[in-house]
Amino acid sequence: MMICVAMTTTSFVAKAQDDITPDISSPAINTASYSTAIGLRAGETSGLTIKQFIGSRSALEGILGIWPNALSGTLLYERYASTGVNGLSWYYGGGGHAAFQTTRVYYYPDRYYYYRRGDVGLGVDGILGIEYKIPPIPFAISLDVKPYLEANTAGGIYTSLDPGLGVKVTF
């Protein structure tokens, strides 16, 4: 009887230990190994970025794009997958953006030309990238391509691949 109780207890403790020890290769684990990240993205859409995991493999990322005479807000839903290398994961997803443009200033040698137009653009975005969370320190670097299609109030339609490099502090 004592041996049966000892074996059951040992089995229970081992199972509980398996439940709290993450398996990096499991698809249900947050492969990025952090819950929130804040940083910068450099590319066509450059600016501040914040990423929040909302599930074990899903994250929402917001990008506040900043240009000399324009501002944009992008929201992306991203799915993560492990590459099998500790800290390295790839991601894909999609979302949308809104862009707001104010005044453009053109300078020619003898005078300034002002082009005033308050355009608003709306677009759809995709994203495909790879990210490395540096294991011993709270930093992540990413390289991605964020293709978009945008229509604006001036009647223009724009598209771009929008590659970018991101550096984020993780916690």
At 67-93, the pLDDT tens digits run 878 899 999 999 999 999 999 999 999
At 10-54, the pLDDT tens digits run 343 343 433 333 333 444 445 558 999 999 999 999 999 999 999
Within a domain: residue 141? yes
Provide the CATH number for the domain around residue 143: 2.40.160.20
pLDDT beyond 60 at 131:
yes
pLDDT at 101: 85
Within a domain: residue 52? yes
pLDDT at 106: 60
Within a domain: residue 14? no
Within a domain: residue 5? no
What is the domain extent for residue 86?
25-170
Total tally of structural domains belonging to the chain: 1
Within a domain: residue 12? no
| Residue 133, CB-side half-sphere exposure with 13 Å CA sphere | 23
CB 129 within 8 A of CB 101: no
Within a domain: residue 162? yes
Within a domain: residue 86? yes
User: Which residue, among 50, 38, 51, 47, has the nearest Cα to 70 in the 3D structure?
Assistant: 47
Within a domain: residue 49? yes
pLDDT at 110: 65
Which is more confidently placed, 102 or 38?
A: 38
